[in-house]
Amino acid sequence: MGSYNIKSIKRKVTKSNAFSKASHKKVNAHLHRARTNLINEFDNHPVTKEISSGSNGSNLSKTLAGYGNLFSYIGFHGTSDPIASVRNLLFTIPQIKSKKLKSGSMEFVLSAPKLEDFRMVAKMPWEGGRSWVEGIESGISGFSYYMANMFGENIKSRSGSAIQSKSKVRVGVFRPTPYLSVMISNFERMILKV
């Protein structure tokens, strides 16, 4: 029987192209599973479904106490698809960068999305600074002035089905609800389970 230098063998294996390719393949497959889970969670969330329904959808998220819907409340233009740009960003933001360490092993660094990352693609139609994605979680003002589904279709408003009154028409407030921040946390937890 001969003797083996395990450290030397380990060094040679970790420095090989085969090791590098296999590591990348495994990590990218793991990222793909986590991203698929993130997109499925996003697509099946009541907020996403409600906004996807357009100006005539119902308040599935219960953020408006069952009255009207988020699409017309936020004031999206009737023909817009605000969900598409958020979904596209979810597909592209979670990236993994790799770095080979002096020891020969591979280090993978994940850049997970943050709520602030959505400000450019999910702008509030009437308010600068924050995104509607952030508003879902922190609150969106104006519910007391919101009038929906009272005028038939194609009224002169951004959404085509609701307006904002100049005086209060109801008591009540928008009810914030956990949304993308929870999904991003779930994504990060799944990524860490290698």
**Residue 157 within any structural domain of the chain:** yes
DSSP characters over 72-120: HHHT--TT--HHHHHHHHHHHS-EEEEEE-TTS-EEEEEE---GGGGTT
pLDDT at 96: 75
CA 47, 148, 164 angle in degrees (round to 5)?
100
**Residue 122 within any structural domain of the chain:** yes
Count the neighbouring beta carbons within 10 Å of the beta carbon of residue 83. 20
pLDDT at 103: 67
**Residue 1 within any structural domain of the chain:** no
**Residue 150 within any structural domain of the chain:** yes
pLDDT in tens, 115-140: 888 999 999 887 777 899 999 999 98
pLDDT at 99: 72
How many domains does one find in the chain?
1
pLDDT at 56: 83
Helices and strands, counts by H and E, the chain: 7, 6
pLDDT at 113: 82
**Residue 4 within any structural domain of the chain:** no
**Residue 50 within any structural domain of the chain:** yes
Helix (H, G, I), strand (E, B) or coil at 189: helix
**Residue 51 within any structural domain of the chain:** yes
What is the token pair recorded at 166? Answer: 């100049």
Q: Which domain holds residue 51?
A: 9-192
Q: Which residues on neighbouring strands pair with residue 30, listed in sequence order?
A: none
Backbone φ and ψ for 71, nearest 5 degrees, come out as: -60, -50
pLDDT at 126: 77
**Residue 3 within any structural domain of the chain:** no
What residues in the chain have per-residue pLDDT under 50?
A: none
